[in-house]
Structure 1
């Protein structure tokens, strides 16, 4: 592949990636609106579900979201008010407060995502295992890259 062809492909990848991210951000906003949540709160719920329902500290929520501990506390306050999480004392260390999801509300949350994702798997019907593995690797790398960029932006640095 020539350098020019590669540059064109990278430009197209950049444009497609930006459209994908914008589309996902708009989907997140619409889903958050449907649940009467802020988009960040919705994504925090998504991350909490990915923690397999294990209660976590507010500090862990700050790590997952890239928010300060103060902002994470306010986020938990909003999720608690909306009924999605509860605060509970750690049974091992009573000084520690854990944030646990409310199973019934999380079931509603999951059902919404399942309805929205209906047909999602079909998007990959024409890909073989090696292509799926490539896609998974790409998504992992871009998620890690995004986490680093969030940290840079929150620290007052330049993105990039």
Structure 2
């Protein structure tokens, strides 16, 4: 019986740790964004462009969950004025606009912050075994997948017509 209660306590503690981690991650990203003169959503737009590659405004809206109309246009306008993205016509379809992150500008503004955090993580990771690192990779990958799935469920529920 004590094994079960120990396990339940460990699972409860894990839920607390994940909540704290997720809250701190959001607050950290917001602080990084503000240090670069952006808001958190705009910083995530840039991040998604860097990881997923250039996109049309509609594609970026889909990646972020922002509406394809005014919200994404306003975000792109702010990012372009700040020098973090550029817009250009799609050479294959002049009606389409492609938004691209200026990686050099992003790295100039926030690279040192992420470099410092990365160095601190590398120092910690050096203390772990290969098996522990493999487990952590699996845990974070699964957490990211659960979050992605839950975002999709929330977006689907928010659609007025109920379509996916």
TM-score interval (norm. to shorter): 0.7 to 0.9
The match for 1:22 is: 23
CA contact (8 A) 1:84 1:101 kept: yes
Distance in 2 between the 1:83 and 1:22 partners? 29
- Structure 2 distance, partners of 1:111, 1:45, is 17
After superposition, residues 140-151 of structure 1 pair within 5 angstroms as 140-151=141-152
Is the Cα contact below 8 Å between 1:47 and 1:64 reproduced in 2?
A: yes
CA–CA distance in 1 between the matches of 2:6 and 2:98? 52
Q: In 2, Cα distance between the equivalents of 1:56 and 1:110?
A: 22
Deviations 1:34-68 (A, max 9, x none): 111111111222222223xx321222222322222
- Return the TM-score normalized by structure 2: 0.82
| Corresponding residue number in structure 1 for 2:45 | 44
**1:7-156 pair list within 5 angstroms:** 7-51=8-52, 54-70=53-69, 71-108=71-108, 109-156=110-157
Q: For the pair shown, which has the larger CA radius of gyration, 1 or 2? A: 2
CA contact (8 A) 2:50 2:103 kept: no
Q: Residue by residue, what CA displacement relative to the aligned partner does 1:77-134 show, whole Å, maximum 9, x if unpaired?
A: 2211211001111112222211011243123133332134332211211222222122
Kindly tell me the number of residue pairs found equivalent between the two proteins.
155
Range that drifts further, 13-22 or 58-67: 58-67
Q: Structure 2 unaligned runs (5+)?
A: 159-164
User: Secondary structure, in 3 states, of the residue corresponding to 2:38?
Assistant: coil
Return the alpha-carbon distance in structure 1 between the equivalents of residues 73 and 153 of structure 2: 21
Of the structure 1 ranges 11-20 and 94-103, higher mean CA displacement relative to structure 2 is found in: 94-103
Separation in structure 1 between the aligned mates of residue 113 and residue 25 of structure 2, nearest angstrom: 15
Q: Which runs of 4+ in 1 moved over 4 A?
A: none
